[in-house]
Amino acid sequence: MAQSIPLVSRSPHLNFPSLSPAPKRCLYGNPRRVPTSSSCPSGAVFSIRASTSDSDSSAHHVIVSDNGTGYARATLTVSDAASTASIEVDAVTEVELKENGFRSTRRTKLVCTIGPATCGSEQLEALAVGGMNVARINMCHGTHEWHKRVIDRVRKLNEEKGYAVAIMMDTEGSEIHMGDLGGAPSAKAEDGEVWTFSVRAFNSTLPERTIHVNYDGFAEDVKVGDELLVDGGMVRFEVIEKIGPDVKCLCTDPGLLLPRANLTFWRNGSLVRERNAMLPTISSKDWLDIDFGVAEKVDFIAISFVKSAEVINHLKSYIAARSPDGGISLIAKIESIDSLKNLEEIVQASDGAMVARGDLGAQIPLEQVPSAQQKIVRVCRQLNKPVIVASQLLESMIEYPTPTRAEVADVSEAVRQRADALMLSGESAMGQYPEKALTVLRSVSLRIEKWWREEKRHEAMILPPVGYSFADNIKEEICVSAAKMANNLGVDALFVYTKSGHMASLLSRCRPDCPIFAFTTTPSVRRRLNLQWGLIPFRLSFSDDMESNLNKTFSLLKARGMIKSGDLVIAVSDMLQSIQVMNVP
Ligand X SMILES: C=C(OP(=O)(O)O)C(=O)O
Q: What is the torsion angle, in degrees rounded to the nearest 10, for the CA atoms of residue 300, residue 304, residue 307 and residue 313?
A: -30
Cβ proximity to ligand X: between 358 and 585 the closer is: 358
DSSP states of 238-274:
EEEEEETTEEEEEEEE-EEE-TT-BEEEEETTEE--S
Which residues within the stretch 99-118 sit at the binding site for ligand ADP (CB under 6 A)?
113, 115-116
Cβ atoms of residues 349 and 313 within 8 Å: yes
Residue type, 129: V
Residues that bind Mg ion (CB under 5 A): 335, 356, 358-359
Cβ atoms of residues 133 and 421 within 8 Å: yes
Cβ atoms of residues 169 and 140 within 8 Å: no
- What residue 130 binds from ligand ADP, K ion, ligand X, none (CB within 5 to 8 A, per partner kind)? none
Handedness of CA 225, 194, 396, 386 (dihedral sign): positive
- What residue 356 binds from Mg ion, K ion, ligand ADP, none (CB within 5 to 8 A, per partner kind)? Mg ion
Q: How many C-alpha atoms does 509 have within 13 Å on its Cβ side? A: 28
Q: Does residue 356 belong to the site contacting ligand X (CB under 6 A)?
A: yes
Q: At what angle do helices 405-416 and 434-455 cross, to 10 degrees?
A: 50
- Whole-number minimum distance, CB 357 to ligand X, in Å? 5
Distance CA 199, CA 220 (A): 10
Cβ proximity to Mg ion: between 358 and 515 the closer is: 358
- Whole-number minimum distance, CB 235 to ligand ADP, in Å? 13
- Whole-number minimum distance, CB 472 to ligand X, in Å? 32
- Whole-number minimum distance, CB 129 to K ion, in Å? 26
Q: Does residue 232 belong to the site contacting ligand ADP (CB under 6 A)?
A: no
Q: Looking at 40, 302, 303, 429, which residue binds ligand ADP (CB under 6 A)?
A: 429
Q: Does residue 170 belong to the site contacting K ion (CB under 5 A)?
A: yes
Q: Chain-centre distance of CA 353, in angstroms?
A: 8
Q: Does residue 170 belong to the site contacting ligand X (CB under 6 A)?
A: yes
Q: Does residue 425 belong to the site contacting ligand X (CB under 6 A)?
A: yes
Q: Does residue 138 belong to the site contacting ligand ADP (CB under 6 A)?
A: yes
Q: Are strands 166-170 and 535-540 parallel, antiparallel or unpaired?
A: unpaired
Q: Does residue 395 belong to the site contacting ligand X (CB under 6 A)?
A: no
Cβ proximity to ligand X: between 424 and 507 the closer is: 424
The site that binds ligand X (CB under 6 A) totals a number of residues, namely 12
DSSP states of 446-492:
HHHHHHHHHHT-SPP-------SSHHHHHHHHHHHHHHHHHHHHT-S
Cβ proximity to Mg ion: between 2 and 256 the closer is: 256
- Whole-number minimum distance, CB 360 to ligand ADP, in Å? 12
Cβ atoms of residues 414 and 110 within 8 Å: no
Distance CA 378, CA 380 (A): 5
Stretch that binds ligand X, among 197-205, 285-293, 355-363, 506-514 (CB under 6 A): 355-363
Q: Does residue 227 belong to the site contacting ligand X (CB under 6 A)?
A: no
Q: Does residue 290 belong to the site contacting K ion (CB under 5 A)?
A: no
Q: Does residue 141 belong to the site contacting ligand ADP (CB under 6 A)?
A: yes
Q: Residues interacting with ligand ADP, by CB under 6 A?
A: 113, 115-116, 138, 140-142, 146, 258-260, 358, 425-426, 429-430
Q: Residues interacting with ligand X, by CB under 6 A?
A: 138, 140, 170, 304, 335, 356-359, 390-391, 425
Q: Residues interacting with K ion, by CB under 5 A?
A: 138, 140, 170, 304
